[in-house]
Structure 1
Amino acid sequence: MAANDSAETNGGTGGPAAGRRKAARYIVPVAVAGVAAATIGLVPALASTGDPDLPEITAQQLIEKIAASDTQQLSGTVKISTDLGIPSLGGLAGTFARGGGSGASDKGDSTADPQTKLTELASGTHTLRVAADGPDKQRVSILENAAEYSLIHNGGQVWAYDSGTNQVYHASEAGDSSSKRSPAPEGVPTTPKALAEQVLKAAGPTTSVTVDGTAQVAGRDAYKLLIKPKQSGSTIGSVTVAVDAKNGVPLKFTLLPSSGGKAVVDAGFTQVDFAKPAASSFTFTPPKGAEVTEADDAKAQHKADGADGLGMFPGAEGLGGGEQGAKDTKVIGEGWNAIAEISTPGAAALPSKESGDVPAEAQQFLDSLGDKVSGKFGSGTVFKTRLVNALMTDNGKVYVGAVTPDTLVKAANDAA
């Protein structure tokens, strides 16, 4: 059985503040789901069937084992269950991603667009098939009741196909085809290792890291790495990563909330094979009659429509982007309690359906998440999930982080 040795990480992987700054662009309630989806990623998980007797290992050694893993070929089946405490996103994800558009038939919109489709992983249970052959070839397929969605990266080409609507999304990479671009949108991990590394980036003096025994996942022996915030005020209670004892590949990821109850995210392999996948796994030809949307055309249309996920919110279009986004954003606190404070351009207040700024469907979703609050900062609305919360004040400030609503209100009061 593995030793329960602890280790303090030194924050050398980037630190929590850097991660929070990157996430700061998600400053409105619709993006809370996006942050959660990025946290979830497309990574694997599943049931343990025993506790194998393995050589003892320290937490530091196990972290080093993950970092040193050079496994680049695998295929398998993944099950992801997510309970963020929000209504099922379903087709609503497309509404948010399109800035309130009413369907995929609008010019530039496609149900195969990864920015739209992958947001649906932020709720419910999904079964995926995954395959990877080095940095140039990856495939992720989401299996649905009567359809399948596939995202394929092969060299300089990225294809996505929604069999339910017979729609295709295509992007070409300029320059060197050996770039390590992932087929998923930026910030969405597509391998177990990527998900574990994302969590470990938040580790530092505010984090407890221990080895919490062993498990068997998808028929393979694994160590369990337990990561817990030392601070109070975080919505994250603990993260457990089951790490393949032989090759260091994370096999299972479970995130429990500090509020108790079932896991917010439980994701892992039900079956995995580390042999080289068939080359045909990464080839794709648009089916006859399929509607093909080119990425450049879609981006141009989205920009014209203001459909960047924030376009439905007046004055929010440029938040978190480029130099202006950096200037309008600062980080309060540290570690797991880090909060991004964003100033909206022109101190724009929270939009509402009464002003005609928010589509009715989106407003219904926002109302289901929000609670009115007040304090030294004035008044505002806290939009809640079990993982990421956001406070939007009526004077145009936004506070967002994986912290409790009370922690957000205190940060706003302290900044007033």
Structure 2
Amino acid sequence: MAPNDSAETTGKATGTVVGRRKAARYIVPVAVAGVAAATIGLVPALADSGDPELPKISAQELIEKIAASDEQQLSGTLKISTDLGIPSLGGLAGSFAPGGAGTDGGGSAAPEDKLMELASGTHTLRVAADGPDKQRLSILGNAAEYSLIHNKGEVWAYDSKSGEAYHAAADAEQQKQKKEHRAPAGVPTTPKEFAEQALAAAGDTTSVTVDGTSRVAGRDAYQLLIKPKQTGSTVASVRVAVDAANGVPLKFTLSANGGGKAVVDAGFTKVDFSRPDASSFSFTPPKGAKVTEADDLKDAAEQQGGEGKAPEGLAELGGLKGLEGLDGSQGLNVIGEGWTSVAQIKTPGGSGLPTGGSQGSGDIPAEAQGFLDALGDKVTGKFGSGTVFKTRLVNALLTDDGTVYVGAVTKDALVQAANGAK
């Protein structure tokens, strides 16, 4: 293992002004909460044995190397998995979305339906990209494949198992975002997208060090280790394996304070930075395929009283905003900073969980109340009383007066935030 500079990096780290500005986008740990909300993860990347000897590099230099990486052409295979300690969410979105799975409208090939399947379990993905206008993502299953293709503003998705296809055209704003290389809201699916959300400016709340080297997908990499300095976070560490040659994150691992296997882990098992074949981004629906247009789903949502927002497709994948970006929204306040940020959300009507009783008294049957009680822990404090619902990473407190407190923090930290809230 090559020795590396493990000096901590803060918001006052040295370096060029340009380097600091570019690196600042990459080190905000509060975005980890956004990653957890998406509940996507990648399993370890089957790294090669043996740690390569590489030149020394400081944490600040490695962060700037990530910020400067501009590899727009690649193809590869990833393993993906997550372990939040909750049941599988596969198919959940399609069960309730207008035109989704289980409805007369069909449309189960829509991205919002299929990407939910990545929220739990283990999956294998193939990815390809050729600049901001061409990307492809394929989820490999048992004798089946789901593919999502973006080619110059047009999005196609196809599920070989169901024989259904989905088609959408990106609007002008989406095209503008891609041209400007902005990170739109959506679900991250590569180690770099995960890393870009977890590595952002958090100043003195974060320790950032270089922790040795590794080999990932046959390539030499530095290990960037990010840890919260604050107590009360459910995050133990974030580890990013950074390609020593081009600065591209090859593997992302998020570990929980409770121990056990990684909660979120993103890694390439194979990667190639040459231009993919143009045929990778071409798609024509097979004969007999049922094609659902995004506009049809939008019309269905409007008819059912929804917001009429169609799935955004592959062009919009990557880039969840952290809780701090939501501060000031109607009914929402952010308490604290960095890794221990807690979102306070006042629900309309100011009511908490329904209460039950025997022989028909109360809002719900006693049996149902018992089920709800089993899902969470009852807590009390200066704020009153409520119930804490827990995963391995993100926890939420719902008070009896209808206020929600949520963050990648412990139960005690949630209660403390509620007690001090205004």
The one of 336, 344, 349 equivalent to 1:346 is: 349
Tell me the secondary structure at the aligned position of residue 334 of structure 2: strand
Stretch moving more, 205-214 or 185-194 = 185-194
Tell me the secondary structure at the aligned position of residue 301 of structure 1: helix
Aligned positions of 1:217-256 closer than 5 A: 217-256=216-255
The equivalent of 1:208 in structure 2 is: 207
Aligned positions of 1:208-357 closer than 5 A: 208-305=207-304, 326-350=329-353
The equivalent of 1:312 in structure 2 is: none
What is the rounded CA distance, in whole Å, between the counterparts of 1:355 and 1:152 in structure 2? 47
1:124 aligns with 2:121: yes
- Between 1 and 2, higher relative CO (CA 8 Å, sep ≥ 6) is seen in 1
The equivalent of 1:5 in structure 2 is: 6
> Which deviations, in whole Å up to 9, do the C-alpha atoms of 1:121-178 show, x marking residues without a partner?
1211110001011111111111111321111111111111111111222211233885
Does the Cα contact within 8 Å between 1:160 and 1:169 map onto a contact in 2? yes
Unaligned runs of 5+ in 2: 12-22, 308-322, 357-361
Letter of the aligned partner of 1:106 in structure 2?
A: D
**CA positional deviation for 1:185:** 8.3
What is the rounded CA distance, in whole Å, between the counterparts of 2:266 and 2:80 in structure 1? 4
The one of 84, 89, 103 equivalent to 1:105 is: 103
Tell me the secondary structure at the aligned position of residue 167 of structure 2: strand
Change (3 A) 1:19 1:214: closer
Aligned length: 384
The equivalent of 2:143 in structure 1 is: 146
What is the rounded CA distance, in whole Å, between the counterparts of 1:323 and 1:12 in structure 2? 19
What is the rounded CA distance, in whole Å, between the counterparts of 2:396 and 2:151 in structure 1? 37
Does the Cα contact within 8 Å between 1:156 and 1:179 map onto a contact in 2? no
1:76 aligns with 2:76: yes
Aligned positions of 1:40-79 closer than 5 A: 40=40, 45-79=45-79
Change (3 A) 1:324 1:222: closer
Tell me the secondary structure at the aligned position of residue 196 of structure 2: helix
Query: So what's the TM-score if we normalise by structure 2?
Result: 0.81
Query: So what's the TM-score if we normalise by structure 1?
Result: 0.82
Does the Cα contact within 8 Å between 2:351 and 2:401 map onto a contact in 1? yes
Change (3 A) 1:80 1:205: same
Letter of the aligned partner of 2:129 in structure 1?
A: A
**CA positional deviation for 1:203:** 3.4
The equivalent of 2:92 in structure 1 is: 92
> Which deviations, in whole Å up to 9, do the C-alpha atoms of 1:368-394 show, x marking residues without a partner?
743332322222222211111111222
Tell me the secondary structure at the aligned position of residue 140 of structure 1: strand
> Which deviations, in whole Å up to 9, do the C-alpha atoms of 1:76-99 show, x marking residues without a partner?
11001211111122233433x539
Stretch moving more, 402-411 or 363-372 = 363-372
The equivalent of 1:31 in structure 2 is: none
Aligned positions of 1:29-40 closer than 5 A: 36=36, 38=38, 40=40
1:410 aligns with 2:416: yes
The equivalent of 2:378 in structure 1 is: 372
What is the rounded CA distance, in whole Å, between the counterparts of 2:110 and 2:216 in structure 1? 32
Does the Cα contact within 8 Å between 2:41 and 2:263 map onto a contact in 1? no
Letter of the aligned partner of 1:383 in structure 2?
A: F
What is the rounded CA distance, in whole Å, between the counterparts of 1:267 and 1:300 in structure 2? 36
**CA positional deviation for 1:36:** 2.5
What is the rounded CA distance, in whole Å, between the counterparts of 2:188 and 2:130 in structure 1? 16
Letter of the aligned partner of 2:387 in structure 1?
A: T
> Which deviations, in whole Å up to 9, do the C-alpha atoms of 1:70-118 show, x marking residues without a partner?
11100011001211111122233433x539x9943332x5221222221
Letter of the aligned partner of 1:203 in structure 2?
A: A
1:394 aligns with 2:394: no
Aligned positions of 1:131-210 closer than 5 A: 131-175=128-172, 178-181=175-178, 186-201=185-200, 203-210=202-209
What is the rounded CA distance, in whole Å, between the counterparts of 1:250 and 1:208 in structure 2? 19
What is the rounded CA distance, in whole Å, between the counterparts of 1:366 and 1:265 in structure 2? 27
Change (3 A) 1:169 1:350: farther
What is the rounded CA distance, in whole Å, between the counterparts of 1:158 and 1:368 in structure 2? 43
**CA positional deviation for 1:59:** 0.4
What is the rounded CA distance, in whole Å, between the counterparts of 1:378 and 1:71 in structure 2? 52
What is the rounded CA distance, in whole Å, between the counterparts of 1:221 and 1:189 in structure 2? 24
**CA positional deviation for 1:335:** 0.5
Does the Cα contact within 8 Å between 2:9 and 2:208 map onto a contact in 1? yes
What is the rounded CA distance, in whole Å, between the counterparts of 2:39 and 2:90 in structure 1? 18
**CA positional deviation for 1:186:** 2.5
Q: Give the structure with higher Rg (CA).
A: 2
Does the Cα contact within 8 Å between 1:234 and 1:337 map onto a contact in 2? yes
What is the rounded CA distance, in whole Å, between the counterparts of 2:195 and 2:123 in structure 1? 20
Change (3 A) 1:220 1:3: same
Letter of the aligned partner of 2:69 in structure 1?
A: S
Stretch moving more, 251-260 or 171-180 = 171-180
Structure 1 vs Structure 2 CA RMSD: 3.4
